[in-house]
Each structure stands twice: as C-alpha cells, then as structure tokens.
A and B are shown apart, each in its own frame.
Chain A
Amino acid sequence: MPTNVMKRTLLPLLLTTLVLPQIARAQSTITAPSTPSAEAEDVPLKGEEVAILTDAPNVPPPITRKHPTNVKVEIEVTEVVKRMADGVDYTFWTFGGSVPGKFIRVRQNDVVDFTLKNHPTSKMPHNIDLHAVTGPGGGAKATFTAPGHQTNFSFKALNPGLFIYHCATAPVGMHIANGMYGLILVEPKEGMAKVDKEFYVVQGDFYTTGKYGEAGLQGFNMEKAIAENPDYVVFNGAVGSLTGEKALKASVGETVRLFVGNGGPNLVSSFHVIGEIFDRVYQEGGSRYNENVQTTLVPAGGSTICEFKLDTKGDFILVDHSIFRAFNKGALGILNADGEGDLLVFSGQKKDEVYLPEGGAIQTIPSNTKAAPPAANKEERILAGLNVYGRNCAACHMPTGTGVPGAFPPLVKSDYLNADVDRSIGAVLHGLQGEVTVNGNKFNSIMPTLGLNDEDVANVLTYVYSVWDNSGVEVKPEQVAKVRAAKK
C-alpha cells in the first residue's frame, strides 16, 4: 500500500521532469530518414472511401492516391454448396460467396474500418484474422460473429505486403479447410510498378468423405485433414476454375502480375508456371524480390507475388510442382497468351519423327553408298519388303504379324488390311490415329508416319499381303504414288 501511494504521487513529477524528454528523444531517433519505408513518415490521413472488392481471379484496380485514407471494407460470410469438380459438390464456407474470399486492396497507413457480416442462414459463428493486422488475433476476437449478426473493428495497415486472411473460429482447421481464406494487399506508399494484367490465385487443399472425383455432395473428412492427406488440391476453390473458358487471358508483350496465396490448411505449395520464368518474385509477399525464378514456395497461410512478361504465345500452365497434386488432385490452371508468337523465343515443334536407334526410315543414306535397285518382280518385292517390315513394323505388329491384343492390330488374316488396299497404303504413308476395328476387335492408338519412299511402301505391303493368309495382292510403287498424290 505505501509504495502504491508513493508511486501515485511521484508519477506526475516523473512524467514531467524525466520521462517526457526521453520519449521525445526516442521518437526522433526512430523517425530518422535512414530507417526502412515501413516507419518513414507519410502524408496525413485524409478522406474516406469504400474498398472495391473482387472475386478471383480478378484484382481491384491499383491505388492511385498518394495519401492514406479511411477505407471501409464489408465482407459477408456465407455457407454455400458449390461445385468442387464436375459432378462433385461441397459445402464451402466463404468470405463473400466464393473461394478464395474477396480480394481487398488498400494502401499502407490506411485505416481500415472492417465489418464482418455472418449471414443468418449460417450454421456457424465465424471471424476473420487478417495477417495484415498488427494486433492480437489479427482481428479474430474483435470479429467473432454469430449467425445473423455483424461485427466491426478497425486497424491501421502499418506494413506493406500481400497477406492472407482466414477464419479463426474453433475448430480453426475445419473453417480453413472449408475455404475460409483470401488475400489482402497493402500497397507500399510508393505504390507498385504498373503492369498490364493482374490476377488473383489462391491454392487450397480439401478433404472429402469420398475419394477424388467421387460424385455427389461431399462432406468434410476430419481424419484425412488431421493426416494431411487431401483428396483435392486446387486453385481458386475448384478443379478447373482456371482452365477452359475460365483460363486467365493476356497477350504477348504484356506484363503479368500474379497475386498468389495459399490458404492451406496443410500443404505448402511449390508454385510454378510451366513454360514461364518469373522475372521477379516477391517471396512470401514481402518487400524484396528475387529475379529469374522457376518455382517459388508459398507457405500455408502465406503468399507470393510473381511478375513476368509474356514473350511468346500459347498456354502457360499454373501448377503446384509437387506434381501429383497438379495432375491427380486438381492444382492446375492455364494462362493463355494470344498474339504473335516470337519464333526466336520459342519455335514450336519443328519435327516429330520416329526415333529408331538402330536404323529405320528416317536415317539418311550416306552419299557414298547406292540406293538399292527397285524390285524387278513380286519375289524380289516380297524379299525387300521383309526387311522393311523388320525395321519399321515388327516392333509393334510383331515379327509374326500377330500384333498385341488391345494395343496394336494384327496383320494376320486381317479383314481391315484386305478390304481396302489404298487405305492400307495411306496408313503406311501417313500414319493412323483413332479407333479402328480389326477382326472384330477395337484398337485406339497411334501409328506414326514412317517416312518410307514409294518403293519401300510397295515392298512392305506386298510382303504383308503375301504372307499370313492375306489376299496376296502385289502393291506397285505407282499405286503408292497415286495414293500419296491424292492426299496432297
């Protein structure tokens, strides 16, 4: 008690004589001009506005004002049944109706007035923890909201960067696993470099009662979530949310900025764009960038900013390069670049030829040897054809012409072969693709173009027709030439 009294009487004296000058001194050192941008002085707060919020893959327009302001942000939480994959539905819990939640874009030192509304039909209370908030819980406690209610708090966006926000209501893991996350961008007060296109992509892992692709409304599976064994790993809340008609679109020559988040709840993403090298990556959504990056890690509950220029046209594929997630669990998106392709940057395929290490038709014959003379009669033709067959055909159709059931059609007593000689010539000349029925069995694979000359084609077909109970017709080079000409 006595010490308390003493403190109380001494305090004002201390404040006026000792503490205040010290505080003033301390402040003057903190605001020294050499300190990082986060603490450097800014122009005063001025005006107010309502934030423009967007659904993925769209991003709100860049901030053009040169001063901080009061920004109003309102987000409504809804629990909705939506498509996870074709034929597969899931009850998503959302910040604004879809996964990921609304993209929020503010400027450093803005004061954000944040209202969280929980739709009356929600079954759960929800809240929001914005990683852009400096303060306990990131706003979680201040926004704990029962169904049919709304809460409000405000914060000053002290640090620039790209931040995840998410729900932090118990059980936290389940709220996040159901899709409760999104991104908030705090632009540095210097602003960001202008780019032509900006996109919003967030990866998330999902745990369903059924396996990947199992149709119907799927429930959340807690055991799989705890075991960190997801059925789905997707961009923007669904398989195919960035493919087909929904692919991201840009043009050659444009600069692209991807705001990439990872909601988790469990997996770390090895984010990569197939066929593109990131010119700049702001790792973990921070202020410093690395250059010329192929694949960048996006932590669960973290982000990254990737920038690159589109130098050539085509489809560039966004993946989590933990690659089974891309091809078997859904983590795949497409950025389509239209315009003129630069052939020097990328030529496209120039050739596709059969590669046979031990000979084959594509080998050019050395100039000091002579080409074999044309066959003079059917016997010579069959003999020559046997060799052509051995080099080019036997690998698939087998040396005895039996083929491989289910993969390569038989040539023995082949109804397909005997029905139409010209069709057979065409197949050898140009290859064959798609379904064919041979002796009652269906085959659906590819026969490559072999690049044989007319003489070789005539010889090999004459050989095939003369053996294995086939029709025995002789195919002449002239007939081959005719079929070849017909195609042109």
Chain B
Amino acid sequence: MKIQALLLSLLTGLTLAGEIPADMARVEGGEYVPMFGEISKPRKVETFLIDRRPVTNAEFLAFVREHPKWQRSNVGKLFADQGYLSHWAGDLELGENAPPNAAVVRVSWFAVRAYLKNINKRLPREDEWEFAARADATQADASKDPVFLARILKWYGQPSPVRLPDVDTLLVDIHGVVGLHGNVWEWVVDFNNQMVTGAARSDSTLDRALFCAGGAVNATDAANYAAFMRYAFRSSLEGNYTTTNLGFRGARDAELTEPTP
C-alpha cells in the first residue's frame, strides 16, 4: 500500500505527506458529535485536505472536454439524470447562466467522482465535510454560535439564484476555505448513509440496525435546524441526481496522496 502510494505520487508529481497543494487547505482532525449520533459516541475525524473553493464551471468544462463520455449529450441515464449540466448552453459551451468562475452545479455523484479521480482527489466524507463546515471566519468550531447558525439558516431559507456568484467572492473561513455555507449544497461521498427518512418524524423511533452508518437516529441538537436540513437534503438524493444548487469540491487524506473512495 505504502509503496503504491509512493509510486503514484511520484508518477503524478503530487505531494508527499506534509506538503499541501496551493488549492487545498489542511483541516486538523479531531472528534466531533454529528447531528445524528449519540453524544456518548463522538466520531473521530482524521486530518484531511479539502479544496479551498468549490469546483467551477470552467474547471468542469475542461474535464468534459477531455472526457467526452461525461458531456451532457453522451452521459448515461444511470449516471446522471436529465438535469445534468442543463444550465449550460451546450455540451462544451457554458452560456450566460453558468459563469466560468461560479460553482458548477447540476452534476451527479458519479460525474463528480470521475472528475475528482482524474485529478487524484476524492469527495469529502460526510463526517469530514460536517467537521470542516463548523468553522466560521474566526473559530474552527462555531457550531454552537447562534449568529453563525442563524446566517446559515437564512441562506437555506432562500431560493437559489439563477446565476451563482463568482467563487472568489464567497466568505472565507478560518481554514482558508470558501463557500462551505451560503453558496451551494455539496456532494459528499457517503451522502446516502444517513438516517433522515422521508417521514422525518419517524426517525427517532426507527430500528437503528436498519442503517449502515450504525449510529443512533436521534438528533443530538434538535435546535440545529441548519444541520437537519443538510442531512435531509442529502438523504433525498440518489447517485444520478442533479439539482440546481448542488455542486462539489475535492478532498484528500492528509498523510497519503492516494485517493481513497
């Protein structure tokens, strides 16, 4: 495994442990209690790297140009639904509703995995994403800060704009990461292992063994509506779904440059 990683990194010219690519930020690992879980069982998150910005239309356009099978008219229905990149003007043309430097949306889980694999990255795990997304401009963990929560909630309560803003105009957090909140939803690799079912009210009584994440089904902080909404949103998705406000960014293990699924 180690040798493989070493070879891979040499081949791709990518970094070894400790060196951080300029487009990524290092998030120190730690323990946290997810929205759904038992307080007695905090989850451990290893140190990881995460993209500073969500992937943009221009970047995704470059990818589909190189990989025609991920172009709008070529993609298989199993891998992306009808909405896939439908806000673009054409297969290889962005048009006015897809500014080059705005986050790419209407991309399926399968498509973004292919994109990231191609650049030796992976999607963040839900735990990693949630762990990083606790940060605001001054604190690594603002998850108990009512001002922070209210701001996120306000964004969740507003409809999506037709044209998304330039990613460089988004708010920067303490890790140097922009737009985890207030821009678009983002794919995580394990989006569908959580515990919000369609009928949200029954979640607290469901047999926990039903769920592969193996955690508890009770929300640890019932007042954290913002987190509720993220989990609810993710649980409504399938791998080939695309929506007008769902984009993505890459991640990587800190100590290993090899992408892990």
Chain A positions near chain B (C-beta within 8 angstroms): 79-81, 91, 120-125, 127, 129, 136-137, 140-149, 168-172, 174, 178, 209, 219-220, 222-223, 226
Contact = CB atoms under 8 A, between A and B. Distances in A.
15 contacts: A121-B244, A123-B245, A124-B156, A140-B198, A141-B202, A142-B198, A143-B198, A146-B233, A146-B238, A147-B245, A148-B83, A170-B229, A174-B225, A220-B157, A222-B223
A115 B158 CA distance: 24
A173 B228 CA distance: 11
B196 to A, nearest CB: 5
B200 A91 contact: no
A219 B198 contact: no
A168 B243 contact: no
Contacts of B150: 222
Contacts of A80: 159
Interface of B: 81, 83, 146, 150, 153-154, 156-160, 162, 185, 196-203, 223, 225, 228-229, 231-233, 235-238, 241-246
Nearest to B87: A120
Given A121-B159, A141-B198, A147-B243, 7 more contacts: A120-B244, A125-B236, A136-B202, A141-B197, A147-B244, A171-B232, A222-B153
B241 A149 contact: yes
A354 B202 CA distance: 64
A222 B146 CA distance: 10
Given A125-B236, A178-B157, A120 B201 contact: no
Q: Is the interface of A mostly helix, strand, loop or mixed?
A: loop
Contacts of A141: 197-199, 202
A172 B204 CA distance: 13
A125 B246 CA distance: 12
B159 A137 contact: no
Nearest to B225: A171
A114 to B, nearest CB: 14
Contact of B157 (A145, A169, A219): A219
Contacts of A125: 232-233, 235-236
A168 B200 contact: yes
Given A122-B159, A220-B157, A140 B229 contact: no
B200 A172 contact: yes
Given A121-B244, A124-B233, A169-B232, A137 B157 contact: no
A178 B225 CA distance: 13
Contacts of A220: 153-154, 157
A185 B246 CA distance: 37
A77 to B, nearest CB: 12
Contacts of B233: 124-125, 146
Interface centre among A91, A137, A222 (most CB of B within 10 A): A222
A129 B157 contact: no
Nearest to B151: A219
A171 B226 CA distance: 9
Contacts of B228: 170-171
A127 B199 contact: yes
A368 B203 CA distance: 87
B237 to A, nearest CB: 6
Nearest to B35: A170
A129 B199 CA distance: 8
B88 to A, nearest CB: 14
A435 B241 CA distance: 66
B232 A170 contact: yes
Contacts of B223: 222, 226
A168 B202 CA distance: 10
A169 B196 CA distance: 9
Given A146-B241, A147-B245, A219-B153, A172 B159 contact: no
Given A125-B236, A146-B243, A226-B223, A168 B201 contact: yes
A134 to B, nearest CB: 15
A169 B197 CA distance: 8
Nearest to B228: A171
Nearest to B83: A148
A119 to B, nearest CB: 9
A79 B199 contact: no
Nearest to A174: B225
A234 to B, nearest CB: 18
A84 to B, nearest CB: 13
Contacts of A123: 156, 158-160, 185, 245
B153 A169 contact: no
Contacts of B200: 140, 168-172
Nearest to A125: B236
Given A121-B244, A169-B232, A226-B223, A127 B156 contact: no
A91 B198 contact: no
A223 B156 CA distance: 16
B199 A140 contact: yes
A219 B225 CA distance: 14
A223 B146 CA distance: 10
Contacts of B236: 125, 144-146, 169
B234 to A, nearest CB: 9
Contacts of B83: 120, 148
